[in-house]
Structure 1
Amino acid sequence: MRRSTMLAPWLLALVTTGVLAAACAPSTGADDPAAAGGSESQAGEATDAAGDETTGAAADETTLSVWSWRPEDKAAYKRIFDAYEAEHPGVTVEFKPYLNTEYNTILATGLTEEGGPDVAQLRAYGQLQPLVEAGELTALDGEVPELDDFAPEVLEGAKGREDDKLYGVPFAVQTMQIFYNKQMFDDAGVAEPKTWDEFVAALETFKQDGVMPIATTGKDTWMLPILHDTVAATRYGGQEFQAALQSGETDFTDPDYVASIEVVDQLKPFLPPDVAGVAYTDAQTLFTTGKAAMYPGGSFELGFFRTQAPDMEIGVFSVPPPPGSPVDTPLVPGWADGSWGVNADSPDREAALELVRWMASQEFGQQFTDELGQISAVPGTEPTDEVLAEIVDAYAEHPAPYLLLVDYRYGEPMGTDLMAEGMQELLLGKAEPADVAKKVDSGIAQWFEPQGG
């Protein structure tokens, strides 16, 4: 049984104290020593010594391959790793991103074959476990002293379930909220909604004006559980519901959970037409090009939005509680995102460990926050982006877990996959909310045992 994880007390403490104000081959290359030395025009022992020195320097050059599921972050990581290379002469860091939807399979294969990464971006919680169990990662206990300063709640997502060892340096905390285009809100005479009725009225206003109210994807189903929790975590109750599930007091067929799925069903008229055919990148473009007023998503989107629409004035809000909600304040679901780990078979293991030690430093954490517009997991970093700081404040005030990711990815089928499939069926009109809830419940019941059960 996996204990549930909640990040909020950690983040609230950091914000309060000011610590976090915003709370393919691994290869070694070398230049041709003869070309560098020019020793044929010289004679004697001095020539031999110069040749030996040149050869030795070239042999010290190391190229580290770093894999990621974030193609949109490539330019930012280039700048970040440029700083590392400047401080570590002879080391080149190659950032190799892959499509998010293909990354898990590519990484699992790459870690078992020659040509895999030296350092890899690792999924958190349950999705980390197969790589740990296969012995494909280097345990970082004692190897990265900086991890002693990380919050235990953040480290939880980077641990092996059975051995409790650390296998990654956490890089981010993510939250869910609605991003909106302030200019479009102003033009439509719409204010940031504080109640559910105001939220629905805003959606109706945009729709009547011929503007797409909400941009989202129904094709790339990994985003659908995020859509659900962004708009409806408040409807099922956040932390209290999490505790009831863990104890066995209730399950996913609970009326409040069914009602949370009904919230998404009620919002279908305000989503893109034929939303099940809209890709993730298309949804992002709808928002960044001003064709949609709102975008429900993770805090990881902010940096990309800034890059793609630098002139857009972006706002954020948490969806107000729908009628019947067991809580009376908006909730902000969040989770510890992935981590950076070292391939157990890396031929440049020491150099890779040195890189992940740097990734645990405040220097890296601050660059991560500044370049990517995300909440760094490294203690002592401070977001300089006002919207990101607002996001962190909201999460500290009204936290909730990204329930299906944090607690229900430790077995098969995973909770997020079940919700993704069910939610797509809902959007296609092939399932009712109760059907989706039953799908999630029956799938998770195949491997999950409540603590009180």
Structure 2
Amino acid sequence: MSKFRKATLAAGALTVSTLVLAACAPSAGPAGAEGDDSTITVWGWRQEDAKTYDKIFAAFEKEHPGVTVEYVPYLNTEYDTILSTGLKDASGPDVAQLRSYGLLQPLVESGDLVALDDEVSELADFSPSVLDGARGVSDGAVYGVPFAIQTLHVIYNKAVFDELGLEEPTTWDEMISAFDEIKASGVTPLANTVTDTWMLPIEQEIFGAGTYGGTPYLEKMLDGEASFTDTPWVDSVDAWTSTRDYWGDAYQGTSYEDAQALFASGKAAAFPGGIWELANFRKANPDLELGIFNAPAPDGSGVPVPGYVDGSFGVSDASDNKEAALELVQWMATADFGQAFTDELAQISPVPGVTPSDPLLAEAVEAYAAEPSPYITYAYFSGGTPGAWDLASSSFSSLILDEIDAGGAADKIQQGVDQWFKPRS
């Protein structure tokens, strides 16, 4: 069994002890040597973040005179194909923004990336489960420095809740009661995405993690003692879809952008999604006062917070500027980069020693540390073909369209995963 599967999940997300570890900045090396002018190209899929990355990398350039870091963004939908070609020779990136978990594996298997275990000593301070997002399944090596943790929540409009005298729910029944009051007031309780099917597994985790059991259930799945078709998982899908009464009248045709607009305009009280949405909503409507909560387990056993590694930065094996590229990713593993990342991009950095200045990000980190839960279909069952995330996106779409039930959706996921998944021994 690979190290990817054997990683201790209990070490979990960002434990409180991990968060307070300090990362050490590297000393100026060859990239900063006098007269050693060079350009490090960094490819990524976040076009909207280009100016911010330029600002962040300016700190590295200041410490390394003669070095220029050029962030080259591509369309998110085209990036994977462009990157797989670009990594084949020196004309491609020196450093690349890498997808995580199963989506990383094709680049690992093709030998296009440099293993960083012996190159970036700071990785030893990262949580094992965080490194899982940048680990090769077959060899267990780490191929990137993780750059963001995405936690999943119900993001809500405080003004709507305050007007109705509602508090953040602490039980499932309180949550449903709040949704009933919001609906009765004429406001849509939940702006759920439906037609952009990649969001459906996210919504299922937000409302279903407390039903299937989060990390303990995942441990059983990896050991072959539980499956997607067992009662806890099927019931978790039903728990999610039981909130359909609160999705709005035309939910079956609601896209991701539609749902965002519905919430940002104040026409919906809450939006189930990732912590990355905070920046989007603040930009769309600066007057929004936002809060976050997570769906409590229906049996009262806890309030799990799903989360996952969004991606990492790795070094191209074909780069002719490899030494400088390695020095850049070493810096990306330090608190200097991590703090700038979280402060400038309003996202959660997994770098030890970094604390978000944004109160809601800090709240998300604290909640995730207290009761972390995995994003199962994406993080731990997408390392083969077909992956559980793709299967869930498709089958959940059929479920929402009433073409199959929760058991049928679970069957499709399990049948696909059974084609390649082997329980750990």
Normalised TM-score (structure 2): 0.89
Q: Provide closer, same or farther for how the CA distance between residues 17 and 431 of structure 1 changes in structure 2, counting only shifts above 3 A.
A: closer
Q: 1:169 corresponds to which letter in structure 2?
A: V
SS in 1 for 2:81: helix
1:312 aligns with 2:288: yes
Q: CA deviation at 1:235?
A: 0.9
Q: Provide closer, same or farther for how the CA distance between residues 296 and 100 of structure 1 changes in structure 2, counting only shifts above 3 A.
A: farther
Q: Is the 8 A contact 1:140 1:166 kept in 2?
A: yes
Q: CA deviation at 1:201?
A: 2.0
Q: Deviations along 1:274-319, whole A, 9 cap, x unmatched?
A: 4454333333333233232111112233333344433322111110
Q: Deviations along 1:9-36, whole A, 9 cap, x unmatched?
A: 355643587448xxxxxxxxxxxxxxxx
CA distance in 2, matches of 1:386, 1:150: 23
Could you tell me which of 220, 239, 242 is aligned with 1:244?
220
How does 1:8-157 map onto structure 2 within 5 Å?
Answer: 9=11, 11=13, 13-15=15-17, 18-19=20-21, 61-112=37-88, 115-157=91-133
Q: Provide closer, same or farther for how the CA distance between residues 305 and 89 of structure 1 changes in structure 2, counting only shifts above 3 A.
A: farther
Q: 1:260 corresponds to which letter in structure 2?
A: S
SS in 1 for 2:423: coil
Q: Is the 8 A contact 2:89 2:319 kept in 1?
A: no
The residue aligned with 1:328 is 301
CA distance in 2, matches of 1:443, 1:176: 25
CA distance in 2, matches of 1:61, 1:225: 46
Q: Is the 8 A contact 2:90 2:319 kept in 1?
A: no
CA distance in 1, matches of 2:12, 2:231: 31
The residue aligned with 1:425 is 398
Could you tell me which of 302, 318, 327 is aligned with 1:354?
327
CA distance in 2, matches of 1:61, 1:276: 55
Q: Is the 8 A contact 1:7 1:336 kept in 2?
A: no
The residue aligned with 2:237 is 261
Q: Provide closer, same or farther for how the CA distance between residues 77 and 136 of structure 1 changes in structure 2, counting only shifts above 3 A.
A: same
The residue aligned with 2:29 is none
The residue aligned with 1:34 is none
Could you tell me which of 395, 411, 417 is aligned with 2:368?
395
Q: Provide closer, same or farther for how the CA distance between residues 215 and 76 of structure 1 changes in structure 2, counting only shifts above 3 A.
A: farther
Larger radius of gyration: 1
CA distance in 1, matches of 2:224, 2:10: 23
Q: CA deviation at 1:69?
A: 2.8
Q: CA deviation at 1:169?
A: 0.8
Segments of 5+ residues of structure 2 without an aligned counterpart are: 23-33
Q: Is the 8 A contact 2:13 2:372 kept in 1?
A: no
Q: Is the 8 A contact 2:8 2:128 kept in 1?
A: no
Q: CA deviation at 1:5?
A: 4.5
Q: Quick one: percent identity of the two aligned structures?
A: 49
Q: 1:372 corresponds to which letter in structure 2?
A: L
Q: Provide closer, same or farther for how the CA distance between residues 11 and 240 of structure 1 changes in structure 2, counting only shifts above 3 A.
A: closer
Q: Provide closer, same or farther for how the CA distance between residues 197 and 180 of structure 1 changes in structure 2, counting only shifts above 3 A.
A: same
CA distance in 1, matches of 2:6, 2:258: 34
Q: 1:67 corresponds to which letter in structure 2?
A: W
Q: CA deviation at 1:236?
A: 0.9
The residue aligned with 1:202 is 178
SS in 1 for 2:40: strand
The residue aligned with 2:266 is 290
Which stretch shows the higher mean deviation, 287-296 or 405-414? 287-296
1:440 aligns with 2:413: yes
Give runs of ≥4 in structure 1 deviating > 4 Å: 4-8, 10-13
Q: CA deviation at 1:413?
A: 0.6
CA distance in 2, matches of 1:84, 1:17: 23
Q: 2:16 corresponds to which letter in structure 1?
A: L
Aligned pair count reads: 412
Normalised TM-score (structure 1): 0.83
Q: CA deviation at 1:250?
A: 2.3
CA distance in 1, matches of 2:146, 2:319: 20
Q: CA deviation at 1:6?
A: 5.5
Q: 1:186 corresponds to which letter in structure 2?
A: D
Segments of 5+ residues of structure 1 without an aligned counterpart are: 21-55
Aligned CA RMSD, in angstroms, stands at 2.5
CA distance in 1, matches of 2:363, 2:10: 15
Q: CA deviation at 1:143?
A: 2.2
The residue aligned with 1:52 is none
